[in-house]
Structures are given as C-alpha cells and as structure tokens.
Structure 1
C-alpha cells in the first residue's frame, strides 16, 4: 500500500481523477494522472498494474511520454 494508512485506494482514485477500471478510453490526461499518482505515492505501481491491467513496459512508455522516467531515475541516484 503506497498511500497513508488513513487513505484508501478509492480516495486516491478520486483525488487524482483516475478511472475506476481499465475499461476506459485511455486519453493523454488519464495516462498522465496515473503516472502522477504513482510518482506521488498515492498509488503503487502494483495497484495501478492490477487495476488498469498495465504492463511494466506500457507504464514506462507513459512515463517517457510525460517526461517522468528521467526525473525518477535521477531521484533514485541521489537516494
């Protein structure tokens, strides 16, 4: 669980305007919201993967599309 104990996955979905299931048209905004939620630790990658049927490579493509993967790699190098 990536989010704080007092927060549920439903709260994270509402706060980040995430779809409730994988059965949606994946617009640019929806992809960006999922990437942002994972990077803000509101949702773990595992939860996003299970909820939206994402593969690791698909999520990495979304990260690259929104310029987040390089930022994450740099933050991991510093830590």
Structure 2
C-alpha cells in the first residue's frame, strides 16, 4: 500500500489531483499524472489499473510517452 494505513486510495487520489474514474478525456498531461503517481508510489499499479480500467500494455505505452516527453524536454 502506497499511502498511510489510516487513509484510503480515494483520499490518496484526491490529494494527488488524479481523475476520480476512467470517465475522463485522457490528455497526455493526465496520463503523465497517473504514471507519476504510480512511480512515486502514491497509488499502486493495481489500484490505477482497477480505477482507470488500464491494461498492463496500455500503462506501459503511457510510461513510454512520459519518458519520451521527458527526453525531449532535457534535449
């Protein structure tokens, strides 16, 4: 669990400013927020997958997009 035991995943998602559900327009910025939240252990991949209806391959594609964007920004 990536958040305090006396907290819930919903509270962690709210604090991180993540979408409440999968029913949003998935802009590159929103995808990056979810990727960062998983990488920073704000929520687990399984929590993100369940809440946002993501497959493992879809999440990997999001990660690749984030990494490519970061590479472009550093160049």
Task: List, as ranges, runs of 4+ consecutive aligned residues in structure 1 with deviation greater than 4 Å.
Answer: none
Unaligned runs of 5+ in 2: 69-75
What residue in structure 1 maps to residue 23 of structure 2?
23
Give 1:13 deviation, angstroms.
Answer: 1.2
Q: Which moved more, 1:49-58 or 1:5-14?
A: 5-14
TM-score norm. by structure 1 comes to 0.77
Report the RMSD for the aligned CA atoms in angstroms: 1.5
Give 1:10 deviation, angstroms.
Answer: 1.9
What residue in structure 2 maps to residue 3 of structure 1?
3
TM-score norm. by structure 2 comes to 0.81
Unaligned runs of 5+ in 1: 69-79
Aligned-partner Cα distance in 1 for 2:28–2:15: 18
Q: How many residues align?
A: 68
Aligned-partner Cα distance in 2 for 1:30–1:17: 10
Aligned-partner Cα distance in 2 for 1:15–1:33: 12
